[in-house]
Structure 1
Amino acid sequence: MTRSLDTALETALAELARVPTLLVALDFDGVLAPIVQDPSTSRPLPGSAAAVGALADLPGTTVAMLSGRALDDLRTVSGFVAPVRLVGSHGGEFDDGALELTDAQRALKDELSAAVRHAVDGEPGVRLESKPAGIVVHVRGAEPLVAERVLDAVRTGPAQLPGVEATAGKAVLEMAVVQVSKGAAIDTLRGRLGADAVLFVGDDVTDETAFARLKPGDVGVKVGDGDTAAGFRVGAPEDVTALLQALLAARR
């Protein structure tokens, strides 16, 4: 069954579709792909994947996945290839050049990783993910008390190391030795492309930095509940499929 969109959102998408150069930036998990227990099994909804591919083939239109996942992981689970752009690690890795760390940053990353592993120390249901610029603690598979204990220990310990940037998400805490954000990534992509307008769709608290960077004429869409700076909201990834299909029809 085709989902219907709010009339105001449909109007905003129709206006967005008229700009000469358009950037469509999308989070992956919870936006194109439903949230799943095992992140390695995550895949985009077929309708959304088809709409992304079709949009990316249109003149003056760039589609970018903007995810907290590491770039290689994002490439694997999304299945997208050029001309779709991939940006991983919250803007820390672009598909046209991975993040380069200084010697000091590499040393800090090693210290951070060791401290996080010591703090977690085999807690059941907790998963650690190494990234080029840091390490991530995932507690989605842990019991609530374990998750709270682990996150508190990491927040008050390793995350406080000088030079470490901590970003909290849904059942996740990411720590990096460089300053990155999805908002900064939006600015970078906009500048590189000379985009006249941006559509950004996200679902997590880490996406709020991107919503906050949007300008008049841009469109921000929050997926799901929670406070947001986005101008519009939809309920679920299935609604994002309808959104992308509407934008595609208007852009064509």
Structure 2
Amino acid sequence: MTDLDDAVRAVASVPRLLVALDFDGVLAPIVNVPSEARPLPESAAALGALATLSDTVVALVSGRGLADLAAVSGFGSPIRMIGSHGGEFDDGAAVLDDAQRERLDAVVAELEELVGGEPGVVLEHKPAGVAVHVRNAPPEVASRVIDAVGTGPAARDGVEATPGKAVVDLSVVQINKGAALDVLRERIEADAVLFAGDDVTDETAFARLRPGDVGVKVGPGDTAAEHRVDGPLDVAKLLKGLLAARTGR
């Protein structure tokens, strides 16, 4: 039995458990067209079963907008949804004041001018911000666009920039997955958290984990997580193990 197996069995035994996961690259393999991403059936089945257990809360914590996350994941209640890196909770989307709305409109206008005509670059509009996706752009275009975003709209006062894998998220409110995880933990009074993520944006969540929690980095890269698996297939196996341990506790 591996250290991760031991950790999963231990966290499965707590009275009230929060299971929180990023979506892309964790539950769903990374695809070139984001709207075509779907969770692996094994992971979807395990998550659905976990969410029906007593004192067990399952949540997706993603950089996607809340509506987009619900559409691609196929999940609904009782599985919780947190979108836009914590900018949107499923019990109430982010609300902007007049100054933030004006700032967001200016950022969107600047981005549309900046990326207009750039091949493979896509803007994803969110209630509190906008994401610039360059996964399908030629490398030289991707580099040029990310640099221009960083020195342009991302440098505006009141704009929070969150770089990820082939994407940079701009928000007019201060948000991150770690803060969102803290909020959700307190709201549901969880005794422990299992969190899995693959992106640099998930590091804020790993940094907020406490003794008794379990953090799982999916894929390569530096991380604050104590455990690592290779990809979504391993996450499916992990979730099935967690379900078996939680059911038999």
Same topology, TM > 0.5: yes
CA positional deviation for 1:121: 2.2
Structure 1 consecutive aligned stretches of length 4 or more whose deviation exceeds 6 Å:
none
**1:150 counterpart letter in structure 2:** V
CA positional deviation for 1:198: 0.2
Per-residue CA deviation, residues 136-172 of structure 1 (Å, 9 max, x unaligned), is 1100000000000010011001100100000000000
Per-residue CA deviation, residues 9-57 of structure 1 (Å, 9 max, x unaligned), is 0000000011000000000000000000001110000000000000000
- Find the counterpart in structure 2 of residue 157 from structure 1: 152
**1:31 counterpart letter in structure 2:** V
What are the within-5 Å matches in structure 2 for residues 57-96 of structure 1?
Answer: 57-96=52-91
Per-residue CA deviation, residues 89-117 of structure 1 (Å, 9 max, x unaligned), is 00000111111000000000001111111
- Find the counterpart in structure 1 of residue 5 from structure 2: 10
- Asked if 1:251 corresponds to 2:246, the answer is yes
- Find the counterpart in structure 1 of residue 102 from structure 2: 107
Could you tell me which runs of 5 or more consecutive residues in structure 2 were left unpaired when the two chains were aligned.
Answer: none
CA positional deviation for 1:118: 1.5
How many Å separate the matches in 2 of 1:229 and 1:163?
A: 28
- Asked if 1:218 corresponds to 2:199, the answer is no
Per-residue CA deviation, residues 170-198 of structure 1 (Å, 9 max, x unaligned), is 00011000001000010000000100000
**TM-score, normalization by structure 1:** 0.97
| Percentage of matched positions with identical amino acids | 66
**2:77 counterpart letter in structure 1:** A
- Asked if 1:207 corresponds to 2:202, the answer is yes
**TM-score, normalization by structure 2:** 0.98
Per-residue CA deviation, residues 200-251 of structure 1 (Å, 9 max, x unaligned), is 0000000000000000000000000000000000001000000000000000
- Find the counterpart in structure 2 of residue 3 from structure 1: none
Alignment partner of 1:139 out of 114, 134, 142: 134
- Find the counterpart in structure 2 of residue 128 from structure 1: 123
How many Å separate the matches in 2 of 1:129 and 1:37?
A: 14
How many residues in Structure 1 have an aligned counterpart in Structure 2?
Answer: 247
- Asked if 1:21 corresponds to 2:16, the answer is yes
How many Å separate the matches in 2 of 1:201 and 1:131?
A: 23
How many Å separate the matches in 2 of 1:248 and 1:167?
A: 33
CA positional deviation for 1:131: 0.6
How many Å separate the matches in 2 of 1:98 and 1:90?
A: 12
How many Å separate the matches in 2 of 1:135 and 1:122?
A: 18
CA positional deviation for 1:122: 1.5
- Asked if 1:178 corresponds to 2:173, the answer is yes
How many Å separate the matches in 2 of 1:208 and 1:91?
A: 14
- Find the counterpart in structure 2 of residue 193 from structure 1: 188
How many Å separate the matches in 2 of 1:130 and 1:79?
A: 20
How many Å separate the matches in 2 of 1:98 and 1:74?
A: 13
Q: Indicate the RMSD between aligned Cα atoms, in angstroms.
A: 0.6
**2:223 counterpart letter in structure 1:** T
**2:110 counterpart letter in structure 1:** A
